Amino acid sequence: MSGDVNLTEVLGRELVEYWIGTRRWEWLQFFTTGGDPAAGVSDWELERYFEHV
Amino acid sequence: MSDTTNLGEWIGNNSVRTIRAQTVTLDGALVGKHLSPKKFESGAQSGWGFADIALAVDLGNTAQLGFDFGDWRGEMHDVFLRPDLTTLSTDASLPGLATVMCDLVDQHGAPLPVCSRSTLARVVKELAELGFTGKAAVEIEATVFEESIEQAREQRFTNLHPLGGTQGAIYLLSRSRDYTTLMDAMAARIERAGIPWEGWADESAHGQIEVNLPPTDILTAADWYVRTKQIMREVAYEHGRTITFMARWSPDQFGQGAHINLSLQQDGRNAFFDEVEPSRPSETMRNFIGGVLDTMAAASSFQYPTVNSYRRIAEFDGPPTTVTWGVDNKSAAVRAVCTTEKLSRVEYRVPSADVNIYLSMASFLAGGLIGLRDHSDPGLDAPSWPGDCRREPRSCQPASLERSRN
């Protein structure tokens, strides 16, 4: 996403930059709580997403 | 209603006591405030104060202050929820309550750059400047469980039992008794909230349902998606059930998507329909798809917004994992439906059920818009079934969480 100039131009730089920040944050939260992409759905994912996405 | 002239009269005629002003966060969660008629009328043009922290906390309620402090946040003052009065509606199932969709604006009334709904509206406007209007419908997938939400919370969302049991496959009416009472209630609520519905069905995974709404203008399609999800949640809870829109809640079950069906109209005709060769995409459709493919890898961040989204995209599991398109080919990321003028459309099969639908649609449309402007070509016509489907390993979507980092 961060490397796509055209999409950023249409969607808006501030939105894209902020969005990327939130996604990196999400990734960081997953890994710092012991998340493992190769393992099954984690308790962390269920607690975080089940009710609110 | 499109202006404030008869707002008081409308509130009186509909016996409205409370107005729920709502919008979505960047995570796509529906958020809002409940307002008295007096407060509602006083802010119907300018909006109502709304703490900007709603856009700066994650789904775990932790402030995301470490990575960015956008200019739009200023000195952490309030931002404003400004209603789109064309969306003001009552819900016959909840007498006295009205709802309205809102955009997030700053103290000067300018849309916030991080407002999802305004971003989609802006992309729709850019399409209009090219001479196109759109019609869209989003497929809603969810899984329902036998347990109540209170029970599910107590169990920390583990060891739940999908409604209809864990045997059997898609569309089985043998378990209709499990579903009918709940789904009748959902359909009735959706209808009474002013949203038409086309159908519902028991889907591939156990406990999974799909609800279909008819095509409408693009912004309304997104509004209907978030409003319908909210209604499905409320009705499920009222019936002592639990529901989730996670992309994949269990590795043993198929994932959940939010396929977007879109057609573009120009001069009153479906611009995706080729009158000369109805079985092939029109030039407009080809250009649109070309742009969507060119930007697909980048836009995937909006289509797979959570860590969990990536669990849905497994090879041969249904969801697309490559930058592909095909005519009536459901194994491709973009399915071109080329039949009649009424039915010709693009089905974008990438989004997971946990998307922020406004940003999902905005990034999809933005790709198409770029394609229309640049006259992008999607490459070889991909006929009907695998093998021939255009696959470009060098420009795959990030099909795993690990690859999404790059």
Within 10 angstroms of residue B90's Cβ, the number of other Cβ atoms is 21
With CB atoms and an 8 Å threshold, state whether B71 touches A30: no
Instruction: Identify whether the C-beta of residue B398 lies closer than 8 Å to the C-beta of residue B312.
Output: no
Alpha-carbon dihedral angle through residues B45, B46, B52, B54, given to the nearest 10 degrees: -20
DSSP per residue over B291-339, as a string? HHHHTHHHHHHHHS-SGGGGGT--TTSSS--SS-EEET-TTSSEEEE-S
Over 60: is that where the pLDDT of B383 sits?
no
| Strands B199-202 vs B133-138: parallel, antiparallel or unpaired | unpaired
Distance of residue A28 Cα from the nearest chain B Cα, in angstroms: 10
Of B299, B307, B359, the CB nearest to A30: B307
Distance of residue B239 Cα from the nearest chain A Cα, in angstroms: 16
With CB atoms and an 8 Å threshold, state whether B369 touches A1: no
For chains A and B, CB pairs below 8 A equal 143
What phi and psi values does residue B345 have, to the nearest 5 degrees?
Answer: -165, 170
pLDDT at B388: 42
Q: Which two tokens stand for residue B205?
A: 């995974």
What phi and psi values does residue B86 have, to the nearest 5 degrees?
Answer: -70, -15
Residue with token string 């019609």: B135
Over 50: is that where the pLDDT of B386 sits?
no
pLDDT tens per residue, range B314-330: 877 778 888 889 998 88
pLDDT at B4: 73
What does pLDDT average to over chain B? 90
pLDDT tens per residue, range B47-77: 999 988 888 889 998 887 655 556 656 566 6
Q: Which residue of A has its CA nearest to B112?
A: A15
pLDDT tens per residue, range B293-311: 999 999 999 999 999 999 9
pTM of the model: 0.93
pLDDT at B385: 42
What's the CA gap between B378 and B294, in Å, rounded?
Answer: 8
Q: Does B369 touch chain A (CB under 8 A)?
A: yes
What's the CA gap between B218 and B134, in Å, rounded?
Answer: 6
pLDDT tens per residue, range A18-52: 899 999 999 999 998 888 888 889 999 999 999 99
Per mean pLDDT, which of B154-168, B171-185, B388-402 is the most reliable?
B154-168
Mean pLDDT of the B166-190 span = 88
Over 60: is that where the pLDDT of B387 sits?
no
Q: Which residue of A has its CA nearest to B253?
A: A41
pLDDT tens per residue, range B198-243: 999 988 899 999 999 999 999 999 999 999 999 999 999 999 999 9
How much helix, strand and coil, in percent to the nearest 5, is found in chain B?
Answer: 35, 20, 45
With CB atoms and an 8 Å threshold, state whether A10 touches B113: no
Over 90: is that where the pLDDT of B401 sits?
no
Over 70: is that where the pLDDT of B396 sits?
no
Of A1, A10, A53, the CB nearest to B126: A10
For helices B296-303 and A13-32, what crossing angle results, to 10°? 60
Q: Residue B93 burial by CB count (10 A; 0-12/13-18/19+): exposed, middle or buried?
A: middle
The Cβ-side half-sphere exposure at B394, using a 13 Å CA radius, reads 0
Distance of residue A3 Cα from the nearest chain B Cα, in angstroms: 8
Distance of residue B128 Cα from the nearest chain A Cα, in angstroms: 14
Banded model confidence at residue B400, pLDDT cuts 50, 70, 90: low
pLDDT tens per residue, range B191-204: 999 999 999 998 88
Q: Does B405 touch chain A (CB under 8 A)?
A: yes
Q: Does B403 touch chain A (CB under 8 A)?
A: no
Which has the higher per-residue pLDDT, B51 or B156? B156
With CB atoms and an 8 Å threshold, state whether A25 touches B295: no
Which has the higher per-residue pLDDT, B274 or B65? B274
Over 60: is that where the pLDDT of B389 sits?
no
Q: Does B133 touch chain A (CB under 8 A)?
A: no
With CB atoms and an 8 Å threshold, state whether A1 touches B298: yes
Mean pLDDT of the B118-135 span = 98
In B218-282, which ranges are continuous DSSP H helix?
A: 218-238
Mean pLDDT of the B155-172 span = 90
With CB atoms and an 8 Å threshold, state whether B400 touches A11: no
Q: Does B371 touch chain A (CB under 8 A)?
A: no
Over 50: is that where the pLDDT of B99 sits?
yes
Per mean pLDDT, which of B156-170, B290-304, B375-389 is the most reliable?
B290-304
Query: Per-residue b/e over B387-402, b at no fewer than 16 CB within 10 Å?
Result: eebbeeeeebbbbbbe
Of B59, B245, B301, the CB nearest to A1: B301
Residues of A with CB under 8 A from a CB of B: 1, 3-4, 6-7, 10-15, 17-27, 29-30, 35, 37, 40-41, 43, 45-53
DSSP per residue over B161-230, as a string? -BTT-S---TT-GGGHHHHHHHHHHHHHHHHHTT----EEEE-SSTTEEEEE---EEHHHHHHHHHHHHH
Q: Is A48 helix (H, G, I), strand (E, B) or coil?
A: helix
Q: Is B116 helix (H, G, I), strand (E, B) or coil?
A: helix
pLDDT at B56: 83
Banded model confidence at residue B141, pLDDT cuts 50, 70, 90: very high
- The ipTM is 0.96
Residue with token string 């994949």: B248
What's the CA gap between B296 and B399, in Å, rounded?
Answer: 12
Distance of residue B59 Cα from the nearest chain A Cα, in angstroms: 6
pLDDT at B55: 84
Instruction: Identify whether the C-beta of residue B308 lies closer than 8 Å to the C-beta of residue B246.
Output: yes
Q: Residue B338 burial by CB count (10 A; 0-12/13-18/19+): exposed, middle or buried?
A: buried
Q: Which residue of B has its CA nearest to A11?
A: B119
Q: Does B245 touch chain A (CB under 8 A)?
A: yes
